[in-house]
Every structure is written in C-alpha cells, then in structure tokens.
Structure 1
Amino acid sequence: MGDSSSDEENHWVFYRDRPEWKDVEPVPQDDGDVGVVSIRYTDKFKDVYDYFRAVLKSSEKSDRALELTKDAAALNPANYTVWQYRRDILKTLSKDLHEELEYSRCIIEENPKNYQVWHHRRVLVEWLKDASKELYLTELILSQDAKNYHAWQHRQWAIKTFNLFDGELNFVDQLLQDDIRNNSAWNQRYFVINNTTGFTEEVLKQEIEYTLDKIRIAKENESAWNFLRGLLLHDKGGLSKNKMVTEFCEELYASGNRSPFLLALLVDMCDEQVSLGGGDSKYTLERAQELCKVLSTEYDKIRAKYWEHMASVIQKKADGTYEPTAHNSSFSADES
C-alpha cells in the first residue's frame, strides 16, 4: 500500500509542510492494538491520509479538499470513502462533471479492474444523464483485456440504461472474429438479443446458424456450445426437435468427433426425449447410457461422477421412479 517511488517522495511536498494547510490538525491512523503483523505505511501515505481524515472529520468541502482526495485516490484507488467524499465535494462545489469524467477516464486506464473507480464514473454518468462516451471507453479497455468484468458490467449498464443497443452486435461479432472463444463476447451477444428483439423464431434461426458456423471453425469451443444450448432453451420444440441442430450434431458425431460438449448436448437431448416418453429413435435411454459411459471413462473423466449420476437419473425417468429435484443441466444457459 502506498507509493514506493523514492524519487517521487523526494520531490513530494508533504501536506504538513504546506503553508495553506497550517490551519488543519492532521488525524493519525488508529490501528488499535498492534497485531502480529503491522502495516508499514510510507511517510507520504501517512501524510496524505492524516490530512484526509482531518477534512473528513471537519466535513470540509473545498477546492483544496478536492485536490487532497485526488492524492488519496492515487495512493489507494480502492478506498470507497475517498471516492464518496470526492463526490460529496463535487456536488457541494457544483464542479464541472465533464472534467471529472475525463479525470475518471485517466484513473480507469491506470486501474482498469478497480471497482470503486468504475462506480465513481457510473455515478457521474447518472448525474449528467449522458453516456455518450461510455461505449468508446469500455471498448478501449476491452481492447487491452477483452474479458475485463468491470468494463463489461459498465458497458451493459450504459447500453441498457441509455438504450445504446444499435451496432452492439457488430461490435460483438468483431470480438468473436478476433477470438472465437471469448466467453464475455458470447455473453454480450445473448444480453443484446435478450434485451432487444428477444428470441423469436426468426432470430433463433439466424443465431443458431451463426453459432453452428462458429462451432464448425472451433469444434472444442465450450463458449459456443453453451450459447447454442442457451438458444435451444428458447426453442418451443425443446433441445431435440430443432432439425438444423440435430442434423448438425449427428453429422458431427458420425464424422468421429467426440467433443465432450457435443456429447453432453446429445445426452441432454436423450434426457429430454426419455422424460417425454420417447418418440425419437435417435435419443433413447440406451444411447444416453452409452454416452454417459464414454464421457465418464474417456472424454470427460474429470466429471465422471456427474455422468454416472446423469445415467442413473435418466434410467429412473425411464422407469418412472424419478423424483424431481433442482436439476442442473450439464451446460447451463447462464454460462453462455
């Protein structure tokens, strides 16, 4: 914690040595009884936070206090109290929030995985009722780390709150062209469709075609398989009645492909048909048992116990002795 740069500390003018702060009595950190390991704060860190605690105690809201919060945030950008107090000062002094947006952008670029900084920016956008810069900012951060959770969370919030869905599927498609296994991008695709057109029959057809094309490129891509299963949960025919999907899966299986994601979907199709009392000779109890066996012994050994359990569950469904509980499918739509 604190600033480890000795050169910067050498040029640092301590608050206790600044004439304009002579009227303030610093408030030292109270760590209580010293434990086994005490925190070694730098002199600069102690100086800044001693004065920050002082202005907090006196509720001073001034330009100098605002500048102090900037120093405090630079030393510990994860400190909630610093950011909250900074917002209080901004409001009290009626500061230019567009300038604060620019400041927050700089801090986010330096600390792209810091929740408090992202939260600060979200509040500013809410105050301004202006999210015009949020897609660009998140795109910039995602170009450095395409799976940054905070950037995705902020982007989804901005898109949904300010109705910025136009062009988002094109953005997602570009991300998937860059990295077909980007689970965050697949999740964003689901988010956009779910909040715009919904999973109509026409949209389902388009998205299933899109996803199958991606699976053809990378047949072991778990993200695409999860997305496909999420789509099928919206198909009124269920998992095993979409001809486009069943033909694709059967052709892939016949070609010798034994991806655990393909086999898992076939197990779910069998499970569905057995639960409904049969009706499709391709998806039977016998096939489910065979698939569960090869998954547990060859293609997905790490989850052998799960596949043994699934075989038992499907057998009980066939026998009519199964008592339903919370059934978690092998790959849920939430993961897509």
Structure 2
Amino acid sequence: MGKRHFVVTRSPLLGGLNSMRESEVSYTVEAILNTPENESPWRYLRGLYKGDTPSFVHDPEVSSVCLKVLNSNNKNTFALSLLLDLLCHGFQPSEKFKIAIQALNTSNSDLSDLNLATTVCSVLEGVDPMRSNYWSWRKSNILA
C-alpha cells in the first residue's frame, strides 16, 4: 500500500490526495474487511488522513470499519488501536462502541465517555502482550 500512497499523493494526473481520498478510503475499508488481521491497510487508512486529524476523526467510514471489525473480531489489535487514536483526538463514540468495548472489559467498572480510552488501553494490554508496556504508557498519558 506504500506504493499506492506514493502514486496517489505524487501524480498530478490523479489530482492529489484530497481528490482521491474518498475512493481510497473505500478501497482501504474493503481491504480491511477482507483481511482485518493485516496491518498494512490499517496503516494506509491512517496515512490517508496525515495532517488532517479532524477529517480522520469525523469520517464515518473510519469509525464504521473499526466497529465492524470489533463486532466480528473483537480482539483485533489494529481496530482497538485505531479506536484509541480516534478517542484521543476527540471522537464521540456511539453506544455501539461502548457495548463492543464493554464486552472486552474484564474489570467490573462501568464505562463512561471519560474512561473509554483508558479501558481500550487496558484491553490492548491484554490482547497485545508484546506491547503491553506501550499500552500502559498510553493509558498513563490519557490520565495525565
């Protein structure tokens, strides 16, 4: 997907990323749904919004693919990580997101908007033990 990003962003005939973003996001969402365990399309999706965080947070296709994957494969590290990034940038989760995360929450604490991001970090610590220190660090930065 790296070559694809280069072509989309550098080819004057395609009109650049802004004119191609919608079709590229659709393409990437399809790739994610076909193989959600492949990290590459998740990274490409983030790259499509590099430097445009508000569009990343408010694009319903981004949050929708995240929820679809969490509902079908709720321990998907990439979907959880994407959700965490969205939450840290001001994403307002629907009740469906809260239910999906609550299903993974092994503690008995209630979820609120304030601690959904920290709960996602706690879930990630369990499902991604190789990076548990990183997720713990992310959680400590949310609480700070």
TM-score (norm 1): 0.35
Letter in 2 for 1:221: N
> What are the residue-to-residue correspondences of 1:214-293 with 2, within 5 Å?
214-235=31-52, 237-273=54-90, 280-282=92-94, 284-293=113-122
> What are the residue-to-residue correspondences of 1:167-186 with 2, within 5 Å?
186=1
1:294 to 110, 123, 127: 123
Paired residues of 2:36 and 2:69 also in contact (CA < 8 A): no
Secondary structure in 2 matching 1:191:
helix
Gaps of 5+ in 1: 1-185, 274-278, 317-336
State the Cα distance separating 1:210 from its structure 2 match.
Answer: 0.4
Higher relative contact order (CA 8 A, sep 6+): 2
Letter in 2 for 1:214: A
CA–CA separation in structure 2 for the residues paired with 1:236 and 1:218: 25
Quickly say closer, same or farther: Cα 1:195–1:243, change in 2 above 3 A.
same
TM-score (norm 2): 0.77
> What are the residue-to-residue correspondences of 1:130-145 with 2, within 5 Å?
none
Paired residues of 1:267 and 1:291 also in contact (CA < 8 A): yes
For the pair 1:314 / 2:131, whether they are aligned, the reply is: no
State the Cα distance separating 1:258 from its structure 2 match.
Answer: 2.0
Quickly say closer, same or farther: Cα 1:191–1:262, change in 2 above 3 A.
same
Paired residues of 1:225 and 1:261 also in contact (CA < 8 A): yes
**Alignment partner, residue 209 of structure 1:** 26
Secondary structure in 2 matching 1:257:
coil
Cα displacement string for residues 16-60 of structure 1 (whole angstroms, at most 9, x for unaligned residues)? xxxxxxxxxxxxxxxxxxxxxxxxxxxxxxxxxxxxxxxxxxxxx
Aligned length: 124
Q: RMSD of aligned C-alpha atoms?
A: 1.9
Quickly say closer, same or farther: Cα 1:259–1:281, change in 2 above 3 A.
closer
Secondary structure in 1 matching 2:54:
coil
Cα displacement string for residues 49-89 of structure 1 (whole angstroms, at most 9, x for unaligned residues)? xxxxxxxxxxxxxxxxxxxxxxxxxxxxxxxxxxxxxxxxx
Cα displacement string for residues 152-193 of structure 1 (whole angstroms, at most 9, x for unaligned residues)? xxxxxxxxxxxxxxxxxxxxxxxxxxxxxxxxxx11111111
Secondary structure in 1 matching 2:115:
helix
Letter in 2 for 1:305: N
> What are the residue-to-residue correspondences of 1:1-336 with 2, within 5 Å?
186-196=1-11, 197-200=15-18, 202-235=19-52, 237-273=54-90, 280-282=92-94, 284-297=113-126, 299-316=127-144
More helix by share: 2
Gaps of 5+ in 2: 98-112
Runs of 4+ in 1 over 6 A off after TM superposition: none
Letter in 2 for 1:191: F
Letter in 1 for 2:16: G
Paired residues of 1:239 and 1:268 also in contact (CA < 8 A): no
CA–CA separation in structure 1 for the residues paired with 2:60 and 2:89: 15
Cα displacement string for residues 218-255 of structure 1 (whole angstroms, at most 9, x for unaligned residues)? 11011111101111225463432111111221222223
Percent identity of equivalent pairs: 31
Quickly say closer, same or farther: Cα 1:213–1:281, change in 2 above 3 A.
closer
Which structure is larger by alpha-carbon Rg, 1 or 2?
Answer: 1
CA–CA separation in structure 2 for the residues paired with 1:301 and 1:236: 28
